[in-house]
Amino acid sequence: MPNNNTASDPWAVGWTIRVLVLIACFAALTVPTDILPIISARTGEPAAPVQEGGVFTIPLTEGTPESLPTPTPATPQVTRIGVIAGHTGSDSGAICPDGLQEVDINTDVARRVVALLTAHGWEADLLEEFDSRLAGYQAQALISIHADSCTYPGKTGFKVARAESGYVDRASERLVDCVSRYYQERTGLPFDAHTITYDMTRYHAYYEIDRNTPAAIIETGFMLDDRELLTQHPDIVAQGIVDGLICFVEGDWQ
């Protein structure tokens, strides 16, 4: 029975192989003539996946889609304030003959300040007098809260001071100005410029924090003549300090 299947015909198989070899040779010879271009995978051409021999090749240049600059989502700047409760974790501060301690007044006021700042939407760190976090501390402002002793009967008033020298003099000056004006406005206490001491202008924290953090110290009042305000109305004391901080960070509104 005659078999017409070419696969079994040696003559036909031979010619099929010859034709295939000729096609392969022709394809190889056309490469140098650029009729069939070879596309480099490391050119500086615009990056686009190219199909070569059925395989997708992604160029490894700066133009790859992966290396294109991606827009960073804008993160809202959170205002951070450091609040030192004077003498906490260290000592009692001034003590009146009846046993009233400065550290207790400072702690009460500082906690209220932190609560008010948090309610305002800011972050606030309640810090101890010699808090380890003060080293290189970074914030929009640092305020240290103290109160004056019982030593001077008849003395009333508050004071705010910054470091006597520093890298952020102008910002700290504005901080002092804001807190002074708004504290006075809120509490009605006079500014007592005559009893600003080296304890205030050479305050240790100024030399520990980051040099770009504006800082000030406030003596909120005298523990004898201003006692009623300090012990009975610490909410007003705290609000006066917070008013000043808001003035400093968000701008004056008076």
Residues that bind Zn ion (CB under 5 A): 86, 93, 146
Give me the least distance between CB of 242 and Zn ion, in Å please: 20
Give me the least distance between CB of 159 and Zn ion, in Å please: 12
Residues 93, 87 contacting (CB under 8 angstroms) = yes
Give me the least distance between CB of 87 and Zn ion, in Å please: 6
Nearer to Zn ion, 116 or 145 (CB): 145
End-to-end CA distance of the chain: 115
**In the complex, residue closest to Zn ion by CB:** 146
Tokens standing for residue 148 = 């004056």
Give me the least distance between CB of 146 and Zn ion, in Å please: 3
Nearer to Zn ion, 146 or 159 (CB): 146
Give me the least distance between CB of 247 and Zn ion, in Å please: 24
Give me the least distance between CB of 145 and Zn ion, in Å please: 9
Q: Is the dihedral of CA 133, 134, 137, 141 positive or negative?
A: positive
Give me the least distance between CB of 144 and Zn ion, in Å please: 9
Nearer to Zn ion, 104 or 243 (CB): 104
Nearer to Zn ion, 59 or 86 (CB): 86
Tokens standing for residue 73 = 């989502």
Nearer to Zn ion, 47 or 110 (CB): 110
One DSSP character per residue, the chain reads: -----GGG-HHHHHHHHHHHHHHHHHHHHHGGGTSSPPPPTT-SSPP--EEETTEEE---STTSGGGSPPPPPPPPPPPEEEEEETTTTT---SB-TT--BHHHHHHHHHHHHHHHHHHTT-EEEEE-TT-GGGTT--SSEEEEEEEE-S-STT---BEEE--SS-TTHHHHHHHHHHHHHHHHHHH-PPB-GGG--HHHHT-GGGGTS-TTS-EEEEEEEETTTTHHHHHH-HHHHHHHHHHHHHHHHH----
Nearer to Zn ion, 219 or 243 (CB): 219
Nearer to Zn ion, 61 or 149 (CB): 149
